[in-house]
């Protein structure tokens, strides 16, 4: 019996790491998707169906709107190919910060106060209006991009205007969110792992210099809340296989959910693999687990 053929759809740093850590039980098929959405195999452009008909399952190792907003997942679902990570609906829901915030609220998950701005009217007029009505400092971010893409912390009118310009480069709607001072935290979860329906990993603290501490410096109560909220967010957004949620922990106001990452990076230095290392799980074993989940569908 031949090896299971696993296509690795890559376009960012995770792809190479996954290819290097894929178990010898699998035959890896390397597929590069460029920024225009063109698929390449062995350096040659290919149609998705021409390569997908020769594989058993796909590991999605991409990041950004094309991948995390459900576009790739739609293609894979059309051809009936099993794949790792959330489906097209869960991916789109997790990527849209406004939609996910509404769902968080209905399930009692705290997230920062926010307002929405959209493109009609001049940016200068929008900035003045927001400056007069929204307390600063504030966080400006696109509603449908990765956790750090197009994000600005603004403290005055000039920064607010520049933050809007930056965020509008990634879409026609922008989120203005209250800035909460506190420790940054992130926590991954894995489906059907170590006897848990949804297993929470150890929360990681993200420091101001972008270094990471795992386990993070959180109280037992803070750790418990972060893990519970990560599991709940994964469940209520109907995500699957794995996800990673980001938080701010205020010393008095408590834990606030910022957003969920449906396709967190999987390089050796990324946040989720650091959490895996902390519980004694290798990246190779993790990949084997989520591939089996995809094949089990």
Total-model pTM? 0.92
Q: Is residue 284 part of a domain?
A: no
**Residue 294, domain member (yes or no):** no
Q: Quickly tell me which residue has 């990471």 as its tokens.
A: 212
pLDDT at position 144: 78
One domain for residues 186 and 69: no
- Residue 39 makes CB contacts below 8 A (sequence gap 6+) with 31, 32, 33, 45, 46, 47, 48, 51
pLDDT by residue (tens digit) across 260-278?
999 999 998 899 999 999 9
Report if residue 208 sits inside a domain: yes
Q: What is the CATH number of the domain that holds 164?
A: 3.30.1490.20
Residue 38: exposure state from Cβ atoms within 10 A (0-12, 13-18, ≥19): exposed
Whether 255 is covered by a domain: the verdict is: yes
Find tokens 């709107």 and name the residue. Answer: 65
Predicted local distance difference test score (pLDDT) of residue 37: 86
Nearest Cα residue to 60 out of 45, 76, 44: 76
Q: Which of 247, 262, 277 is where one domain is finished?
A: 262
Q: Are residues 18 and 57 in the same domain?
A: yes
- 277 occurs within a structural domain: no
Provide the pLDDT for residue 69: 58
| Three-state secondary structure string covering the chain | CCCEEEEEEECCHHHHHHHHHCCCCEEEEEEEECCCCCEEECCEEECHHHHHCCCCEEEEECCCHHHHCCHHHHHHHHCCCCECCCCHHHHHHHHCHHHHHHHHHHCCCCCCCEEEEECCCCHHHHHHHHHHHCCCCEEEEECCCCCCCCCEEECCHHHHHHHHHHHHHHCCEEEEEECCCCEEEEEEEEEEECCEEEEECCCEEECCCCCEECCCCCCHHHHHHHHHHHHHHHHHCCCCCEEEEEEEEECCCEEEEEEEECCCCCCCCCHHHHHHHHCCCCHHHHHHHHHHHHHHC
Asked, for residue 276, whether it belongs to a domain, the answer is no
In a domain, 157, yes or no: yes
What residue numbers bound the domain in which 31 lies?
A: 4-84
CATH code of the domain in which 61 resides: 3.40.50.20
Residues 106 and 233 in one domain: yes
Alpha carbon distance 246, 166 (integer Å): 22
What pLDDT, on a 0 to 100 scale, did the predictor assign at position 64?
59
Tell me the pLDDT tens digit for each residue of 171-197: 888 999 999 999 999 999 999 999 999
The proportion of the chain whose per-residue pLDDT surpasses 70, expressed as a percent, equals 96
Total domains in the fold of the chain: 3
Which structure tokens are listed for 135?
């307390």
Clarify whether residues 98 and 194 are in a common domain: yes
Low-confidence residues in the chain, pLDDT < 50: 66
Q: Considering the domain boundaries, does residue 173 fall inside one? A: yes
- Indicate which CATH number applies to the domain containing 238: 3.30.470.20
Length of the chain measured in residues:
297
The answer to whether residues 161 and 226 belong to one domain is no
């Amino acid at each position: 019996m031949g090896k299971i053929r696993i296509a690795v759809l890559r376009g960012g740093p995770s792809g190479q790491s996954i290819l290097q850590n894929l178990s010898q039980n699998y035959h890896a098929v390397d597929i590069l998707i460029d920024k225009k959405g063109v698929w390449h195999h062995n350096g040659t452009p290919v149609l998705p169906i021409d390569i997908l008909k020769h594989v058993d399952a796909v590991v999605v190792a991409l990041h950004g709107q094309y991948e995390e907003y459900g576009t790739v997942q739609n293609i894979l679902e059309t051809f009936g190919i099993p794949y790792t990570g959330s489906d097209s609906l869960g991916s789109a829901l997790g990527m849209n910060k406004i939609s996910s915030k509404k769902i968080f609220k209905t399930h009692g998950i705290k997230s920062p106060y926010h307002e929405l701005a959209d493109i009609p009217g001049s940016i200068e007029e929008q900035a003045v209006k927001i400056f007069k009505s929204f307390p600063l400092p504030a966080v400006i971010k696109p509603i449908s991009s990765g956790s750090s893409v197009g994000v600005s912390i603004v403290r005055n009118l000039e920064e607010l205007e520049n933050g809007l310009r930056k965020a509008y480069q990634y879409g026609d709607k922008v989120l203005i969110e209250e800035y909460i001072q506190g420790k940054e935290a992130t926590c991954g979860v894995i489906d059907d792992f170590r006897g848990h329906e949804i297993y929470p990993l150890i929360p990681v603290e993200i420091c101001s210099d972008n270094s990471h501490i795992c386990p993070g410096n959180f109280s037992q109560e803070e750790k418990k809340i972060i893990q519970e909220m990560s599991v709940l967010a994964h469940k209520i957004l109907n995500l699957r296989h794995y996800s990673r949620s980001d938080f701010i922990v205020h010393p008095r106001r408590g834990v606030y959910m910022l957003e969920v990452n449906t396709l967190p990076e999987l390089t050796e230095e990324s946040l989720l693999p650091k959490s895996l290392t902390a519980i004694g799980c290798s990246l190779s074993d993790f990949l084997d687990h989520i591939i089996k989940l995809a094949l089990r569908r």
